[in-house]
Chain A
Amino acid sequence: MPLRLPFYKLVYKRLEIEGDKMVLSCVNHVKSGWKSVFMVFTTVADDRSLHCLLTVYTWKKCTLRTGSVRESTVLSTLKVRDPSLNHSAAEAKEEEWGRIYLYYYIHMTKIIHLKDIVPAATNTVNAQFILLEKGGIARDGKEMTCPALVADETASVHFQMWGSECETFEPGDIIRLADGIFSYHKNNLVLRAGKRGKAEKVGEFTMLFVETPNMSEIRWARDPNNLKKFVQEAIVSPHSRIFGPSR
């Protein structure tokens, strides 16, 4: 994501002096809606991610108070934190990028829990999960495919790996999926990166998970009120039938 580069620089420079205590105290006071976001960042455990989050949180506080995104409010809050701020042209440009990124970040890249995914033909699944088990590698035309069982703290799902993903990801890997798709692929309901998505390993081992419910083992039906949406109709199996529950 090209916007991330200047944003990191922007935020990190501002908050370098603040130290981690302040960030952590903000993390503790956040409202539950942000928990999933923090969950992602705390598992990555990167100082700069936490700093980014502080800025995002600051923005959120501003919107709660003012009721809308006020760019000037955000900027003035940021400036308050760094009184020695230099207003050169380069800095102004960075703030511009920062503003754009904040907006993009809040509205576009919401990380969701696996329990909340719904089959859809769109690439809008941004999630983070840990790989529990891999199936056998098979060929689908020219590409390799490999089914896998992945899970986060709320649910598990079948993840279809594709191409080089098959040999790269191993059980225990923590994977971040951006713009993934959860849909029927050759009669199986699977989560996958798809053509427009990207799966990346961001860590290992240090993530909790549950194996039930399994979102791929649910029978879905169209919502009578909105035929474009799916709703859960019945549970086919509490656990994966391909990968049995770990004994």
Chain B
Amino acid sequence: MCPERLLRTVPHEAENPIEKSLREAFLLLQDQLKPPFPLTIPFPPEYSQLNHAIAFGILAQPHLAKVHLTHLHSIVVDGYEIFTSILLKLCNESFSRLLEVPKCQLLWVCSMLIHVSAEKIETLFISLMRQITGGDFSESNLWLSVEVLKILSNNWDWLVEEPIVLSSALYVYLRLLADHFRLGGSFKLEELKRMEIDFCVKALREHFQLSMHIGRDLVRILQDVTYIPEFKDIWKDLLFDPKSFQVSEFSSLSNLYWRRTPSHFFLLRISPQMESQLRFLLTFVKWGSQKRYQTWFVKKHLYWPGSESMISDIVRFICCVHHPSNEIIHSNVISRWAVIGWLLKSCRRNYYEANAKLALFYDWLFFDEKIDNIMNIEPAMLLMVNSVPQYVDITHMLLEFLFLLVDNYDVHHREMLAGSVSASINLLLRKGVVHSLDPLISCNSISPALRERLNSFLPALHLCCHKKVNEDETSIDI
């Protein structure tokens, strides 16, 4: 009997090693996979082989899946760790190439593994959520969105015991709602939106303690959905009735501002493939060689309408997750600020561009040296300083946006935001990320109002340039 394929085959493509090892194991142990199952516990190498064989069986033979699963339950000695590792590897490396049947089977077996509290099942679900592409309204992507959500919604008892999965799911589905809600149309989509809303509302209202783990980015992503009535109410309560969430540490929205978002959240909206390509670009590709890689990246990940939605997520990833070593920073490898500049320029619609800029400056607004990392705020500063004089319009645009944020993001906390921006600039100067802001302050192509405002954020030591700005103002006008 010729076994089915798991992955889509393309001519001239080397056989996928994972599929190969699964199929080989299956072929080798086929006869052992039918009941009655031997009662002896296999030795480690055979145990691993058997796990591989059963995995292939479950994915490729839906009509026998329950038999294979029973077999697995009867032989397991490691809490399913090897089994989930196999699925995790498949998911991380080849999910998009899975054929329809194995894909369905994968989700089915993941839901089954919840009931037996399999080792690393949480990691597997995080990986599945990373496969849901942002801004992608294709059938298969929406299907994945629904199926994962169905499993999570049916397993709240388990979810509550897994804070990372719960908070990650909330992050993912709030982001997806921001994309999905604007889309009108099919009955299936309405159903998905309803499920997403119900899930997020439940997480926020009934498990706010766990939702808070997201930290300050929860505020950022909630803002994108406040036009949805249920979230408008949540937002109002967050502002005016924080006690309604029944969490003692939460007495005001600013409690969230002071929680730095753990970096693993920013991986959630980046697929593993996108992550490895971005990391490769920022670790190995030298200045001057980036153009082709950028073209390929756009062609693969940012080519369809709506894909721009991911740009703010990519910016957040670059600022907060990928921190190059000093060795790389001082080498000839392309810098994070340059990649971010390219991404900002790729935005075609204002809404996405604004979100991307917010993602770039978000940690500036709440920066606290004790809990925040200078690497998160470095790219924005370097982008502004290095864009002068050749791309001064970028610097201008960013400065304008920064001050707009300080003044308007949260009018009740304006002083606090301004203080944090000041602290950010202060630290960047102190640590020598930039030696001074003179290139900006004395740049005539930037409006005097912006330059003066920037000056006001500098610590006293650097205010010596203030007089100079006034003197130059006479003949300059934008």
Contact = CB atoms under 8 A, between A and B. Distances in A.
Given A171-B295, A171-B296, A172-B296, A208 B12 contact: no
B159 to A, nearest CB: 32
Contact of B291 (A16, A46, A209, A246): A246
Contacts of A132: 292
A205 B280 contact: yes
A176 interface: yes
B275 to A, nearest CB: 11
B195 interface: no
A115 interface: no
Interface in B263-306: 276-277, 280, 284-285, 289, 291-293, 295-297, 299-300
Contacts of A230: none
> Chain B binding site: helix, strand, loop or mixed by DSSP?
helix
Interface stretch (A25-33, A65-73, A105-113, A162-170): A162-170
B185 interface: no
A13 interface: yes
B276 A206 contact: yes
Contacts of B277: 204-206
Interface string A159-185: 000001100110110001000000000
Contacts of A199: 12
A139 interface: no
B291 A206 contact: no
Contacts of A172: 292, 296, 299-300
Interface in B149-187: none
A206 B12 contact: no
Contacts of B36: none
A200 interface: yes
A173 to B, nearest CB: 9
Contacts of A17: 44
B48 A205 contact: no
Contacts of A169: 12
Question: How many residues of A sit at the interface, in one of the four size bands?
Answer: 20 to 34
Contacts of B13: 168, 200-201
B17 interface: yes
A201 B11 CA distance: 9
A180 B395 CA distance: 50
A205 B300 CA distance: 10
B229 interface: no
Contact of B12 (A171, A200, A204, A209): A200
B371 interface: no
A205 B291 contact: no
A186 interface: no
B12 A165 contact: yes
Nearest to B290: A246
Contacts of B293: 205
A171 B284 contact: no
Interface in A106-130: none
Contacts of B48: 16
B3 to A, nearest CB: 16
Contacts of B295: 171
A24 interface: no
A16 B45 contact: yes
B14 A13 contact: no
A21 interface: no
Contacts of B297: 205
A204 B273 CA distance: 10
Contacts of B14: 176, 200-202
Contacts of A176: 14
Given A200-B12, A246-B292, 13 more contacts: A9-B24, A13-B45, A16-B44, A48-B17, A171-B292, A171-B299, A199-B12, A200-B13, A201-B14, A204-B300, A205-B276, A206-B277, A209-B289
Which 8 A-B residue pairs are closest in the complex by CB-CB distance?
A: A172-B296, A200-B14, A206-B280, A168-B12, A201-B13, A202-B14, A205-B277, A164-B11
Interface of A: 5, 9, 13, 16-17, 46, 48, 132, 164-165, 168-169, 171-172, 176, 199-202, 204-206, 208-209, 246-247
29 contacts: A5-B24, A16-B45, A132-B292, A165-B12, A168-B10, A168-B11, A168-B13, A171-B295, A171-B296, A171-B299, A172-B292, A172-B299, A172-B300, A200-B12, A201-B12, A201-B13, A201-B14, A202-B14, A204-B277, A205-B293, A205-B297, A205-B300, A206-B276, A206-B277, A206-B280, A208-B284, A208-B285, A246-B291, A247-B291
